[in-house]
Structure 1
Amino acid sequence: MKTYRRAVLVIAAVLGLLALWIMASFTTLNACAFANQHTEFIKDQTQLAIKADNFEKAKYYAYKALRGINNTKKNFKDCGCENALKNITEAEKNLKVATKSKSFEDSKTFLEIAMKNTLNSIEALEEFENNDQSEYGDDLLVLNTKQVLNDQGGVLLSKAKQLRETMNQSLAEFENSLDKVIQYVDCPDAFNFISKIHTKTKEQLRKGSHSEAKIYYHKRVKEITYDALTRLNGCPVK
């Protein structure tokens, strides 16, 4: 259990590093995409809490989901999707009630509500990202989506070179974060964590209708996560 808790702490730290990457990248697509990916983690932990066979396990996974929300909430604000932020905030409230419930049965009721909130948040983020794609051109880099939505001004950089350099810097930090996962997290946990990001990225690429910048971004994340998974080598038995 100590090893597993250590893995959880390291993963939480990596999520924090990814949040810093998002803040430094200037791109709405990063903020929204990684808010979505982190919410998948929150969804998984909430689901484990619902399926738990005793109250203590349910609270354990609920607290993990709460930590996930705390680590990614800034991403939601940077993304500018108010509906997603509202739902993830509701999920946070219901998870807290679940951990403080007096009975296992009452706790599961609030966990179920938190799960619905989380799924609504994921749906809102995906819808927002699609709408954002139709509003901004292929080579525009948006500094602050919420500001742009308010006054349609914002800070826009149209030079492809600036876009590529900024994204490469952010992707390098993301790759370093995965290195830490591989180094400090037990192989099965690391493999599961990175696999989910890799799968989510492939799903985004299959959707099509992305801007050139988003296609480049998703392809690089796919390549980086694939390389990380290859390094783990399927977690062979030592």
Structure 2
Amino acid sequence: MNFKPQLSLMLICLFAQAAIAKSNCEDAYTSASYGLSHSKKAFKANNFDHQQYYAGRALDALEKTRDQVNNCGCDGALVSIASGIENLEKALDPKDWDMGRYFTKRAIADAYSVLENLDLCSTPDETSSSEPKDGISETDNTASTAEEKAAYVQALDELEAAALTELKQLDQTVKKLSELLDCEVPQFSMDQIKAKYDGQAQSESMNELQEQLIEDARSLYRQALDAIEACWENK
């Protein structure tokens, strides 16, 4: 009996499962990076409302991370995720602002720990030696990688926030123009745009996020121009 087809199918399934697990862990890393970024924003917030808002976004990100980690099998990250979720839940309902900062600071440490564990899960164990290479320890490398990725996520968030502000101003300009021309111009749904980007930037790269934002701006212009042209044709 020829077992070659069955063996090939088994290998394909194993590789597919490994690829899916790797992808899920990469998704978990992205979500954990958002959790870290939002936790930092909550810690730096200068008022109670902003502190709670960003703590809530960080909590959502870590809960999403937990689900993704369960699918990718990096069990070492689950303890830190649970601790981070607990601290963020306390940060959402603290007895005062200082306690909110205290629990948020603990959540930041938890988020770093999650990222470190995810790094360990995705890095092959090439050598059994625990000696650092070039004088740099594995922990230092992991922390550096986590910092870089968190900074990148923060840059995405800042780009998103700035672009949404500009879109809002553009929306207001279109509204004023429609009033001056006495034309009914459909308003761009800023609520829908905010919901589209809120919480987690839905792009995997800076270029993708820029393309999404540019397309939204183009859509606003197209709707406004079409409505104004139609209005003047009917006058």
* Superposition TM-score, scaled by structure 2 size: 0.50
3-state SS of the aligned residue for 2:123? helix
| Preserved contact between residue 39 and residue 69 of structure 1 (Cα < 8 Å) | yes
Q: Distance in 1 between matches of 2:22 and 2:192?
A: 29
Q: Is residue 75 of structure 1 aligned with residue 68 of structure 2?
A: yes
Residues 102 and 122 (structure 1), Cα distance of their counterparts in 2 relative to 1, 3 Å cut: same
Residues 117 and 184 (structure 1), Cα distance of their counterparts in 2 relative to 1, 3 Å cut: same
3-state SS of the aligned residue for 1:94? helix
Q: Distance in 1 between matches of 2:212 and 2:53?
A: 30
Q: Which residue pairs with 1:65 in the alignment?
A: 58
- Residue 228 of structure 1: how far off its partner (Å): 6.0
Q: Distance in 2 between matches of 1:227 and 1:45?
A: 21
3-state SS of the aligned residue for 2:78? helix
Q: Which residue pairs with 1:198 in the alignment?
A: 205
Q: Distance in 2 between matches of 1:67 and 1:103?
A: 22
- Residue 131 of structure 1: how far off its partner (Å): 2.5
| Structure 1: segments with no counterpart, 5+ residues | 1-23, 135-182, 200-225
Q: 1:45 aligns with which of 38, 42, 47?
A: 38
Q: Distance in 2 between matches of 1:227 and 1:106?
A: 38
Q: Distance in 1 between matches of 2:37 and 2:99?
A: 20
| Preserved contact between residue 39 and residue 55 of structure 2 (Cα < 8 Å) | yes
Larger radius of gyration: 2
Q: 2:113 aligns with which of 117, 120, 124?
A: 120
Q: 2:94 aligns with which of 98, 101, 110?
A: 101
- Residue 36 of structure 1: how far off its partner (Å): 0.4
- Which amino acid in the other structure matches residue 82 of structure 1? D
* Superposition TM-score, scaled by structure 1 size: 0.50
Q: Distance in 1 between matches of 2:18 and 2:121?
A: 19
What do the CA deviations read for 1:24-57 (whole angstroms, capped 9, x no partner)?
Answer: 9971111100000111111121111111111222
Q: Distance in 2 between matches of 1:77 and 1:32?
A: 9
Q: Is residue 185 of structure 1 aligned with residue 196 of structure 2?
A: no
RMSD over aligned Cα, in angstroms? 3.2
| Preserved contact between residue 187 and residue 235 of structure 1 (Cα < 8 Å) | no
Q: Distance in 1 between matches of 2:209 and 2:52?
A: 31
Q: Is residue 233 of structure 1 aligned with residue 226 of structure 2?
A: no
What do the CA deviations read for 1:100-150 (whole angstroms, capped 9, x no partner)?
Answer: 221111110110010010011011101210128x6xxxxxxxxxxxxxxxx
| Preserved contact between residue 201 and residue 209 of structure 2 (Cα < 8 Å) | no
Residues 107 and 80 (structure 1), Cα distance of their counterparts in 2 relative to 1, 3 Å cut: same
What do the CA deviations read for 1:172-217 (whole angstroms, capped 9, x no partner)?
Answer: xxxxxxxxxxx94349947x8245x316xxxxxxxxxxxxxxxxxx
3-state SS of the aligned residue for 1:232? helix
| Preserved contact between residue 29 and residue 65 of structure 2 (Cα < 8 Å) | no
3-state SS of the aligned residue for 2:95? coil
Q: 2:29 aligns with which of 8, 21, 36?
A: 36
- Quick one: percent identity of the two aligned structures? 22
3-state SS of the aligned residue for 2:201? helix
| Structure 2: segments with no counterpart, 5+ residues | 1-16, 127-190, 222-235
Number of residue pairs the alignment of both structures matches: 139
Q: Which residue pairs with 1:218 in the alignment?
A: none
Q: Which residue pairs with 2:104 in the alignment?
A: 111
Q: Distance in 1 between matches of 2:82 and 2:35?
A: 12
- Residue 72 of structure 1: how far off its partner (Å): 3.2
